[in-house]
Amino acid sequence: MTTKLRLMALAIVVALFSVQCTKDSSDAPNLPTSIDSHFSSGNYQYDGITIPYRDGATIASTSGKSPLVVVLHGQYGSGSDNLAQLRSDAMISIWHYFTSNNVKAVVLAPQCSPRRAWDETKEDVDKATTMREALKSLIDHYVANNINVDPSKIYILGYSDGPQPAGAGGVWYMLSEYSDMFAGGMVVAADPDDNISATNVAKTPVLVVNGIADVHTIGLAETTFVDEVKEAGGEIREVILNIRSREELCRNAFSRENLDWVLQF
């Protein structure tokens, strides 16, 4: 898309803002400062790729197996310390949602190497194994070895807290490449690129949250992608928040209303 067309699209998003779902930073929840102690650590290896991960289970009054909620961190959660992915406002907001609303779940937070990306392509890694292939194997392994997880209720959430699509871009790819795996998905601050299949994404209900006038996205309302997903029979919803900073967007995006919508499927 040319710069001129992009600016026109952003202008339209702003013009449409008054009829979209809106929210500002004053609505942010009073979040805990740390959630590290609620998570155990692990490492998973697949085809030469090591994925550090953290997992935690909420204690809820409901019986039965727990949904598995996979969270793909943003640009600043990458590393090998197996901690950075827990320390964003987005991740803390997600955990706060489950604990404060008595929602039963197992949360799996893998960490991407700083030299790799959740949304990398085969061309990026010279046709080697992608991070998503390793992530898919990790999820399969985790479900197979945790009898308390309901394999029919696997959800994937991802966010972009920096200029790169990061976790949000990774969710688009996971929904496109493994279209029968997830019960629901949530993408915060990333447009789908040309590699994403609307037909495949249509197999999973997905919520997309963008910030108004985000210079890194044009907003799905200004593309044909939403229409293509709907025409393929998919359930897709876009929410535009009155927030320009991606950090604040990620803090506010994982609200009770939005997560309730994703987890209803």
Residue 29 counted as domain residue = no
The dihedral formed by the CA atoms of 155, 223, 196 and 122, expressed in degrees to the nearest 10: -120
Q: What is the domain-level CATH number for residue 135?
A: 3.40.50.1820
Residue 182 included in any domain? yes
If you average pLDDT over every residue of the chain, what do you get? 87
The rounded distance, in Å, linking the Cα atoms of 85 and 78 is 7
Comparing 72-76, 199-203, 240-244, which segment has the lowest mean pLDDT?
240-244
Q: What is the pLDDT of residue 32?
A: 81
Question: Does residue 60 fall inside a structural domain?
Answer: yes
pLDDT for res 29? 58
Of 27-36, 71-80, 152-161, 204-213, least confident by mean pLDDT is 27-36
Domain residues for the domain of 193 are: 3-24+35-263
**Highest averaged pLDDT of the listed ranges 10-19, 43-52, 59-68, 220-229:** 43-52
Q: What would the mean pLDDT of 58-74 be, rounded to a whole number? A: 90
Helix spans in the chain (H): 3-16, 89-100, 131-144, 166-177, 198-201, 225-231, 246-253, 256-263
Number of domains present in the structure of the chain: 1
Is position 128 within any domain? yes
Which residues is 43 bridged to in the sheet? 52
Q: Is residue 40 part of a domain?
A: yes
Alpha-carbon distance of 204 to 222, in angstroms, equals 21
As a whole number of angstroms, the distance between CA 262 and CA 214 comes to: 23
Contact 73, 85 (CB under 8 A): yes
To the nearest whole percent, how much of the chain has pLDDT over 90? Answer: 73
Residue 30 within a domain: no
